[in-house]
Homo-oligomer: A and B are copies of this chain.
Amino acid sequence: MNPIDDPRLTAMGLLAEVHAGLVARMQPVLSTAGLSEIDFETLLRLGRSPGERLRMTDLAAQTGLSTSGVTRVVDRLERDGLVTRVACTADRRASYAALTDAGRERLTAVLPLHLADIQRCFTGLLADEQLEAFLEALRTIRDVVRPCATAGAAESRSPVRS
């Protein structure tokens, strides 16, 4: 068989297509709230972190952006008043990006609409068991392609045992 028609390519293409399609579907709600995809992800990750704050480097690791990319994103969010930089007393090289009140409010304002989007275009389309199997498959793949993606989540800050 011609490798160009290999079903594995179709599988990969399907995954990419679904991801791109979902992101496109979510975008209107977010941009109505004045947030880009990466803005939303940043606010969400900050909101989920202890003290609603993360070091720039940890934010980069969690989002997959480069550290310079995080610098600019936080620049924009800080300019919009949604995030503020807080000096780290323990390590003067580092600084935290912390959610402001405005940032938290923006986030909580968008979340219900965003969750409805996810429900309508993703989780709500699959039966409970089907969804659980789907997520289990995703976790299986995630464990292979992305071994450590929880930077800054406290337990992962401790050094790896050698």
- A residues contacting B by CB (< 8 A) are 3-6, 8-9, 11-12, 14-26, 44, 47-48, 64, 107-108, 111-112, 114-115, 118-119, 121-123, 125-126, 130-131, 133-135, 137-142, 144-146, 149
Chain copies in complex = 2
Determine whether the beta carbon of A15 is less than 8 Å from that of B19: yes
Q: Which residue of B lies closest to A130 (CB)?
A: B137
Secondary structure of the A contact surface, majority rule? helix
Determine whether the beta carbon of B11 is less than 8 Å from that of A123: yes
Report Cα–Cα, A25/B4, bound state, in Å.
20
Nearest 3 pairs of A and B residues by beta carbon: A21-B145, A21-B146, A19-B19
Contacts of A107 in B (CB 8 A): 4
